[in-house]
Structure 1
């Protein structure tokens, strides 16, 4: 795989190459109360993820050998340039779509057998949005799960980490016939095609969400987007792992 930022022929856009991700900063153990937590900044997008343990499971998981995991997503009112109303409507379609993506991604990463009869709840809150919020939430959620694991191991509750597949994520898109990694808001708004790619550290795909925004694209372009996304997701995951230890 080509490492983002080092591909031949890259040209600069606002200080970074086409296949270069924005600067990433992550800190774990940012909440005194949550069982696991992390705050992450990707460019100007900033999110906080917390993990809570609920000592019950939904009805469809009763009697199973493993626990359950669910994710919730929200954007603070001034996470965007214009104030967003607080999301009081629980039927918000975009929010539910993102929550399903987050839940599937985190469940794929974990062995939930150590959490039998328990539910892990990952709350992802967008503090500031400039594109790639769901990607940033996956990266922050992974860091928060790592924090949970380290805390439980230190307390003697877990013998080993339940994270079996470290996961990364990135957005990738086609902007003016240029393939670009890690889109900010303006790039995302003008992209003719875009994907959110979730993948493991060794380049295996968990999910690719997205497609053409206007005219159809050919399969070769889609595959190029996917390959760039796989490389970018692995790179951002390595950055998260390096910073959280």
Structure 2
């Protein structure tokens, strides 16, 4: 049995709370086991200089961990005067994952800022951030869509992520911190609801792993991602009807 009593192929309990904060166009508290992340989506009517005049939008992310999200206090980045390398890697991953399922031309000249703030960390913070940020993003896009319908609805697919690994020669889904810290192989998988991969991050931290190991871990991750996407759909309910339709508000409403 695992430290929290789960089966090896069983993910942690998922809870997604929408509209968690007052001001952001989209805001979510996502909880996967004891990992908790606040994800917000903020809309700006401008784009970075490299996109000006191209009638194309942008999605970017900032990721951070509160000082006492972990067992010992983590110094704030502002106190050190530089961005933590790990944080930079994670926020770029989140941005890539979300941009991959959004038609940026359909979005128009708008920037959606995603902020992921880890308030409690117990492993899988980057994967929880991607999954929660997607729901916040959809809420922000829907607010724009209801105010002024897009000709083409920008969000094309669901996206989610999960961790898998090999711990003491046992393959496991959705590693908590204790498992992750002991893993011989550690992977983070990002996928769409159509089963297509966006990113595969895998490392043999203590020894190489085989193609068979990889295939088994990918199959296990697909199960976890399907479960997370179902949780996203359950959370969004009727507010996810436009995803993947490429249709306007009026057309979707008329098709009900």
Q: TM-score, normalised by structure 2?
A: 0.87
Gaps of 5+ in 1: 1-10
| 1:238 equivalenced with 2:233 (yes/no) | no
How do 1:1-245 residues align onto structure 2 when only pairs under 5 Å count?
A: 14-88=4-78, 89-158=81-150, 161-245=153-237
Quick check: 1:26–1:244 contact (8 Å CA) kept in 2? Answer: no
Give 1:3's aligned residue: none
Give 5+ residue unaligned stretches, structure 2: 238-256
Show the counterpart of 1:8: none
Note if contact 2:32-2:128 (Cα within 8 Å) is conserved in structure 1: yes
CA distance in 1, matches of 2:235, 2:48: 35
Counterpart contact for 1:39–1:46, Cα < 8 Å? yes
Please say if residues 43 and 140 of structure 2, whose CA atoms lie closer than 8 Å, have aligned partners that are also in contact. no
SS in 1 for 2:61: strand
C-alpha distance 159-40 of structure 1, shift in aligned 2 (>3 A):
farther
Deviates more, 1:218-227 or 1:20-29: 218-227
Number of matched residues?
Answer: 235
Can you list the C-alpha shifts for 1:10-31, whole angstroms capped at 9, x where unaligned?
A: x665321111110000011112
Whole-angstrom CA distance in 2 between matches of 1:221 and 1:105: 24
Q: Identify, as 1 or 2, the structure richer in helix.
A: 2
TM-score when normalising by structure 1: 0.90
CA distance in 2 between counterparts of 1:134 and 1:184 reads 12
- State the distance in 2 between where 1:22 and 1:187 align: 13
* Root-mean-square deviation (Å): 1.6
- List structure 1 runs of 4+ shifted beyond 6 angstroms: none
